[in-house]
Chain A
Amino acid sequence: MADGNGFANASPTAGDGIVPGGASGSLRHESAAMHVQGSAAYIDDLPEPRGTLHLVPGLSTRAHARILSMDLEAVRQVDGVVGVYTAADIPGDNQISPVGKGDEPLLATTEVSFYGQPMFVVAATTRGAARRAVRLAKVEYEDLPAILNVAEARAAGSPLVWRPMEMKRGDVEAGLGHAPRRLSGRVIVGGQEHFYLEGQVALARPGEEGEMHVTSSTQHPTETQHMVAHVLDRPANLVTVEVRRMGGGFGGKETQANACACLAALVADRTGRAAKMRLDRDDDMTMTGKRHDFVIDYDVGFTDEGQIVAVDMVLAARCGWSADLSGPVIDRALFHADNAYFYPDVRLRSEPLRTNTQSNTAYRGFGGPQGVVAAERVIEEIAFATGLDPLEVRQRNVYGTHDRNVTPYNMVVEDSITAELLPELARRCHYVKRRQACRAFNVDSPYLRRGIAITPVKFGISFTATHYNQAGALVHVYTDGSVQVNHGGTEMGQGLHTKMVQVAMRELGLGTDQVRITATTTGKVPNTSATAASSGADLNGMAVLDAVRRIKRRLVEFAAAHWNVGEDEVRFAPDGVHVGHRVIAFAHLTRQAYFARVSMSANGFYKTPKISWNGDTGQGRPFYYFAYGAACSEVVIDLLTGEMKIDRVDILHDAGQSLNPALDIGQIEGGFVQGAGWLTCEELVWDKAGRLRTHAPSTYKIPACSDRPWVFNVELLENAPNREYTIFRSKAVGEPPFVHGVSVLQAVSDALASLDGYRTCPRLDAPATPEMILRVAERMRHGNPPA
């Protein structure tokens, strides 16, 4: 199916201005050939400047304590150690709170607030020397009470890291009071380590007169630039942050890259030498924030027919020791606590709780998936209470397009397709027949049980902080007709750069060999937003399009005048630029344009229209549009051990008019497995001292190859251009498919429900590890939770 031109199937037909491999075609990842040869350079692969120092952070070994003394003499004495730096060495602000809360010192001073907090940094001529030296620090602590989880935080009346949010519509008390049926419960959802394969890393190189160049594995170069500038006490124009590619991000490098970048810059500034900090995996997992775990209490009123009347929920999250992005993360959990369902009377409240653990942060979905887990639990409860198939309960509660279409945050859902998607997927994957087969299997299988479930996703696209919804691009066309594209987004594997190249290819009628993407740098496109919230292609694609079209406009004007044709007779096509009856090479046009003194460089800009959101009043339209999809998972569980295997998964997903079907399917497959891992085998465990015990892949288990569904059918929804005007009518695809993993949790629950003849909701919490599954199985069988 692949041909020799670098694109595979599903590319649009050539001709009429559509470039093979251009936007909407399955162009391969721009770095694929380098990836497979090991020649794609990550930061630790770059040649090190002469005299580069290697840094290792000294981490606290207490969850909450006063630092009485720090004796670093033995550290300094180690061969190869050049210096040891503490907060006292910071020339500017010892502060890296990404939200301006001032609650996140770069290096601890008088107090440590979690086990793993950086207190000092060792610089040595080799990484090995720094790693050996850091262990020799002698720190005296005076322990303070440590609060480690939601329950302890609530019991201790721990302060919140962010204002609580309340979303309210209608009268929830009255709704619950009048509902024919009512139930309440609690669902616990675990956190998740990002486990990007490339750990946190930054290389800082000092320049002239206080200049600092930082190559950082960051999803947010502009913020990293600001942090470095503040820590070093200098203006942003002296600091350049650059990133060509990351070895995975998933949200874990949106704010968490800042510490490494700032510490590297600090040492580079103090020593005048290049300084690199690449965290050891254990340090990385011990130090950096993760997905928030939640405790969600729900109270729901409904009818005998399974229709929801009112929902009251409290969503409490372990935020860790500082605010970081917890505020907007928890808000997004509320924004998605309805998933795809209409709640007539509703109240959603958040509790962002401060704890003495890693500061939880952005992670693919940004709180949204946790909200969806709660919504799907509510659906499941109603299904068991009414005896209906959960799919039927879902169908009866999905958003309408003309009525029953207002969210708890008072946004009208204009584009809901869940009502059509669910039955369509059910039909394609033979859900009804297979559900019957599962139940038949379970009747006479003593130890193995099968379960199946379909869940939808409706995911709001846009940063809820409206001002982030802007992007810039810088495009250069050189006289030889080659094109360089730069934009504010970062590449972490999702294929953003590929899509951006495709936008320029399609507009200019060029092939891959003529359009090159360059590293993201604050020196080319300033004041950017994080590559996050699934927004990378939406925002930057439009900015690239804007820049390209500006240049194109000038070229059209020039060509029309030069060759004396109408502007409407100039067209950029794969076979060249059509100018009247002539077809000329693009390079010929650019050369002529240069001689005619036409500017062939332009910046582009984009801001998302229509959106606004006021968190205080709970009013506005936080999302430009929604992305939709549905997944069906079938699993087998073992009642003797709790072991589980995902047997088959079918996904139907809405990527609008896909910019690149192959990359989008890659996001869906990968997102699903990551989501399923979150809810099954991935378990974070802290001990009583607050030390994370699952700080390496030996103890923290992300899905392996054989954990993927053995039958795995992923389809993009056909003929579904975005109703809103987005880049070539595509839809964002980074986060929404992650939510499909929820179907696995529901399928495991369905299998467990067989233990009492499907009479009660198993109330399976996440992660559904073998132990969790066995515990619920024991409870279902004996009625009591095991000791």
Chain B
Amino acid sequence: MIEGTDLTGIRHGIRFYVGNECHTLADVAPTRTLLDWLREDRGLTGTKEGCNEGDCGACTVLVVRLEGDRLVWRAVNACIQFVSMLDGAQVLTIEDMRAPDGSLHPVQQAMVDQHGSQCGFCTPGFVMSMVAGRKADGLAQDEHAIDDMLAGNLCRCTGYAPIVRAMRQAMQAGPDHFDAMAGEIADRLRALCDGATVECDGPAGRLTIPASADALAQAMMADPDARIVAGATDVGLWVTKGMRNLPHVVAIGQVPDLRRIECDGDGVYLGAAVTWQEARAALADILPQPDTEIIRRIGSVQVRNSGTVCGNIANGSPIGDGPPVLIAAGAKLHLRRGDARRVIALEDFFIDYGRQDRAPGEFVEGVSIPRPGAETVVRAWKVSKRFDQDISAILGAFSLTFAPDGAIASARVAFGGMAATPRRATRTEAALEGHMWDETTLAAARQAIMDDFAPITDMRASDWYRRTVAANLLTRLYADCGPESARADISVRAACANAGGHAHG
């Protein structure tokens, strides 16, 4: 029954390639991680475990998928990627990087040439991110593109300088052996596409891969306790760190009608299986802010390649970076239970810590974000100990709509890290609305925000810091889009960028 589908059109096994070998698994534990499976079951030990939580990138592998007629190459963290999510995929590991003739991949050669490895433990992960980076569409040929590409890989030895030099060299190199194999890979992946729903029931748990949103709705009505997993960038840690047992996993990452991105004059709709990386361009289009820094700073390439916008909402985390930005932008959440659908304001989804407005059997089907008008400015800033791949101490998001006379007609202000849920700053909004955007209004808003939130002290920041920075982000907003006379430079990175873009080190 594994190879094909049964009489009801259900397939009882998953199929994917690792290198040139096709694997068919009928009873893999639904939460078995790709990393453990590669290392322990397959003996492929080139992929390393550094943290087992998706932060260090030592376990980076490539997941290649056929989307339409083209192959899409994604670097992901194998430690928090479940094998059960890989149905229909081509996985490539460091063991596959050498060309069939035994020569090193251009990235590998560059890393050797530039002394890019010291202890070597992080190196396979870097190589995989760099190989994937070369395949990215419209890769900018600058240092900042490299920084972004490698933000999800930690190195403790080199200080990154030789790795960046290696990437510069690799960017100039010619095609790799995968380019010659593209047709072959596409053919083999096409042969795996049967549009079937997958059901596996093994000793370690049950796996459902619905073929459509309707099938998902049915599955959730039948088992409201089933755990929906899209990219597993959060659920993965429940398993690898929390040692939680998930008896029934419903993997939705590849459900076609949940992967829709619709972009029109009114705004953007993102299906529940759209990843942050996929949504980046669409969101950049309607949330204009220089270089979409806020999305670039959500996780890392590996995390954004797996993690979905809707998963970031549905898990109800108080520290997710997506919700405050989307709340400020006026996003609506699309929920579905069976055939019943409802649409709510995103902020209303978050009831309290760990509690969301979602009935048993109900699931997030998508999120829509309205396109702001010409009179609206949207800004969001994340503040954390480290610029890249950190959890926000504070994230402030602002949407101000100006009346023709220059007064603030409406304000939406939302914060993450300031309360048990992502929340709007209603007093601050009131202090802004109906007023001219001037020093007096700024002062009132700064005062009001102190009443909006009573943040906590934790390892990321003190309550003092959170309150102070929350108010200061209003000042930053003023310096960025207040009156001309108030404008000033606000980004340490932009201030360094002129020199940095042409580093001669």
Q: Which of B97-126 contact A (CB under 8 A)?
A: 97-98, 104, 107-109, 111-113, 115-124
| B contact residues around A646 at 8 Å (CB) | 496
Q: B243 contacts the other chain (Cβ, under 8 Å)?
A: yes
Min CB distance, A663 to chain B, in Å?
7
A645–B505 touching, CB < 8 Å: no
Q: A195 contacts the other chain (Cβ, under 8 Å)?
A: yes
Q: Which of B53, B143, B386 contacts A704 (CB 8 A)?
A: B386
A45–B45 touching, CB < 8 Å: yes
Residues 154-180 of chain B, each 1 if its beta carbon lies under 8 Å from chain A, else 0: 111111111110000000000000000
Q: A735 contacts the other chain (Cβ, under 8 Å)?
A: no
| A contact residues around B43 at 8 Å (CB) | 47
Q: Give the distance in Å from the alpha carbon of A714 to the alpha carbon of B159 in the complex.
A: 12
Q: A439 contacts the other chain (Cβ, under 8 Å)?
A: no
Min CB distance, B41 to chain A, in Å?
11
Q: A135 contacts the other chain (Cβ, under 8 Å)?
A: yes
Q: Give the distance in Å from the alpha carbon of A708 to the alpha carbon of B157 in the complex.
A: 12
| A contact residues around B150 at 8 Å (CB) | 704-705
Q: Give the distance in Å from the alpha carbon of A674 to the alpha carbon of B156 in the complex.
A: 7
Q: A446 contacts the other chain (Cβ, under 8 Å)?
A: yes
Q: Which of A247, A637, A685 contacts B48 (CB 8 A)?
A: A247
Knowing A282-B241, A705-B147, say if A33 contacts B112 (CB, 8 Å). Answer: yes
B464–A787 touching, CB < 8 Å: yes
A197–B473 touching, CB < 8 Å: no
Most A CB atoms within 10 A — which of B123, B389, B458?
B123
A705–B164 touching, CB < 8 Å: yes
Closest to A639 in B: B472
B121–A666 touching, CB < 8 Å: no
Q: Which of B454-505 contact A (CB under 8 A)?
A: 458-462, 464-465, 468-469, 472-473, 475-476, 479, 488-493, 495-497, 499-501, 503-505
Q: Give the distance in Å from the alpha carbon of A229 to the alpha carbon of B154 in the complex.
A: 36
Most B CB atoms within 10 A — which of A673, A701, A775?
A701
B390–A701 touching, CB < 8 Å: yes
B158–A662 touching, CB < 8 Å: no
Q: Give the distance in Å from the alpha carbon of A567 to the alpha carbon of B163 in the complex.
A: 48
Q: Which of A28, A44, A194, A703 contacts B112 (CB 8 A)?
A: A28
Q: Give the distance in Å from the alpha carbon of A19 to the alpha carbon of B95 in the complex.
A: 34
Q: A670 contacts the other chain (Cβ, under 8 Å)?
A: yes
B462–A771 touching, CB < 8 Å: yes
Q: Which of B58, B93, B108, B492 contacts A643 (CB 8 A)?
A: B492
Residues 25-65 of chain B, each 1 if its beta carbon lies under 8 Å from chain A, else 0: 00000000000100110010111111111011010000000
Min CB distance, B409 to chain A, in Å?
26
A32–B115 touching, CB < 8 Å: yes
Q: B388 contacts the other chain (Cβ, under 8 Å)?
A: yes
Q: Which of B124, B383, B503 contacts A712 (CB 8 A)?
A: B503
Q: Which of A759-776 contact B (CB under 8 A)?
A: 769-771, 774-775
Q: Which of A36, A450, A705, A710 contacts B108 (CB 8 A)?
A: A36
| A contact residues around B469 at 8 Å (CB) | 640-642, 774
Q: A213 contacts the other chain (Cβ, under 8 Å)?
A: no
Q: Give the distance in Å from the alpha carbon of A705 to the alpha carbon of B472 in the complex.
A: 27
| A contact residues around B49 at 8 Å (CB) | 44
Residues 486-512 of chain A, each 1 if its beta carbon lies under 8 Å from chain B, else 0: 000000111100000000000000000
Q: B353 contacts the other chain (Cβ, under 8 Å)?
A: no
Q: Give the distance in Å from the alpha carbon of A707 to the alpha carbon of B493 in the complex.
A: 10
Kindly specify which of A462-470, A590-598, A689-697 makes contact with the partner chain. A689-697
Knowing A705-B153, A771-B465, say if A683 contacts B385 (CB, 8 Å). Answer: yes
Q: Give the distance in Å from the alpha carbon of A696 to the alpha carbon of B393 in the complex.
A: 16
Q: Which of B55, B164, B472 contacts A698 (CB 8 A)?
A: B55
Q: Give the distance in Å from the alpha carbon of A590 to the alpha carbon of B47 in the complex.
A: 41
Closest to B167 in A: A705
Q: B146 contacts the other chain (Cβ, under 8 Å)?
A: yes
Q: A585 contacts the other chain (Cβ, under 8 Å)?
A: no
Q: Give the distance in Å from the alpha carbon of A280 to the alpha carbon of B154 in the complex.
A: 17
B94–A197 touching, CB < 8 Å: no
Q: B151 contacts the other chain (Cβ, under 8 Å)?
A: yes
Q: A131 contacts the other chain (Cβ, under 8 Å)?
A: yes
Q: A74 contacts the other chain (Cβ, under 8 Å)?
A: no
Residues 628-656 of chain A, each 1 if its beta carbon lies under 8 Å from chain B, else 0: 00000000111011111111100000000
Q: Give the distance in Å from the alpha carbon of A407 to the alpha carbon of B48 in the complex.
A: 46
A196–B387 touching, CB < 8 Å: no
Min CB distance, B152 to chain A, in Å?
8
Q: B391 contacts the other chain (Cβ, under 8 Å)?
A: yes
Q: B216 contacts the other chain (Cβ, under 8 Å)?
A: no
| A contact residues around B492 at 8 Å (CB) | 448, 636-638, 643-645
Knowing A672-B159, A774-B468, say if A645 contacts B118 (CB, 8 Å). Answer: no
Q: Which of A34, A47, A669, A704 contacts B161 (CB 8 A)?
A: A669
Q: B378 contacts the other chain (Cβ, under 8 Å)?
A: no
B163–A693 touching, CB < 8 Å: no
B56–A703 touching, CB < 8 Å: no
Q: B127 contacts the other chain (Cβ, under 8 Å)?
A: yes
Min CB distance, A520 to chain B, in Å?
15
Min CB distance, A486 to chain B, in Å?
20
Min CB distance, A698 to chain B, in Å?
5
Min CB distance, B112 to chain A, in Å?
5
Q: Give the distance in Å from the alpha carbon of A82 to the alpha carbon of B299 in the complex.
A: 39
Closest to B296 in A: A706
Q: Give the distance in Å from the alpha carbon of A198 to the alpha carbon of B124 in the complex.
A: 13
Q: Give the distance in Å from the alpha carbon of A771 to the alpha carbon of B58 in the complex.
A: 30
Q: Give the distance in Å from the alpha carbon of A189 to the alpha carbon of B163 in the complex.
A: 30
Q: Give the distance in Å from the alpha carbon of A307 to the alpha carbon of B309 in the complex.
A: 60
B489–A673 touching, CB < 8 Å: no
Knowing A44-B49, A786-B468, say if A493 contacts B119 (CB, 8 Å). Answer: yes
Min CB distance, A260 to chain B, in Å?
15
Min CB distance, B372 to chain A, in Å?
24
Min CB distance, B297 to chain A, in Å?
10
Q: Which of B108, B243, B462, B479 contacts A135 (CB 8 A)?
A: B243
| B contact residues around A641 at 8 Å (CB) | 383, 469, 472-473, 476
Q: Which of A36, A637, A644 contacts B104 (CB 8 A)?
A: A36
Q: Give the distance in Å from the alpha carbon of A194 to the alpha carbon of B472 in the complex.
A: 34
Q: Which of B48, B58, B393, B503 contacts A711 (CB 8 A)?
A: B503
B503–A250 touching, CB < 8 Å: no
Knowing A198-B50, A638-B490, A770-B383, say if A37 contacts B94 (CB, 8 Å). Answer: yes
| B contact residues around A769 at 8 Å (CB) | 385
Residues 699-729 of chain A, each 1 if its beta carbon lies under 8 Å from chain B, else 0: 1011111111111111000000000000000
Q: Give the distance in Å from the alpha carbon of A198 to the alpha carbon of B112 in the complex.
A: 20
Q: Give the distance in Å from the alpha carbon of A786 to the alpha carbon of B505 in the complex.
A: 39
| B contact residues around A32 at 8 Å (CB) | 111-112, 115, 117, 120
Closest to B29 in A: A128
Q: Give the distance in Å from the alpha carbon of A683 to the alpha carbon of B158 in the complex.
A: 21
| A contact residues around B464 at 8 Å (CB) | 786-787
Closest A-B pairs by Cβ, 8 of them = A38-B46, A710-B500, A493-B119, A247-B121, A35-B120, A673-B159, A712-B505, A38-B94
| A663-B115, A705-B160 given; 19 more Cβ-contact pairs under 8 Å | A2-B113, A32-B111, A41-B45, A44-B39, A45-B45, A197-B50, A197-B56, A247-B120, A282-B241, A446-B479, A640-B490, A645-B495, A645-B496, A666-B162, A670-B118, A708-B164, A711-B503, A770-B384, A786-B464
Pairs A–B under 8 Å by Cβ, sample size 8: A37-B98, A194-B156, A281-B52, A447-B488, A493-B117, A636-B495, A673-B160, A683-B459
Instruction: List A residues at the B interface (Cβ < 8 Å).
Output: 2, 8, 26, 28-29, 31-42, 44-45, 47, 126, 128, 131-132, 135, 194-199, 245-250, 280-282, 445-448, 450, 492-495, 636-638, 640-648, 662-663, 665-666, 669-674, 681, 683, 685, 693-694, 696-699, 701-714, 769-771, 774-775, 778, 786-787
Instruction: List B residues at the A interface (Cβ < 8 Å).
Output: 36, 39-40, 43, 45-53, 55-56, 58, 93-95, 97-98, 104, 107-109, 111-113, 115-124, 127, 143-144, 146-148, 150-151, 153-164, 241, 243, 383-391, 393, 458-462, 464-465, 468-469, 472-473, 475-476, 479, 488-493, 495-497, 499-501, 503-505
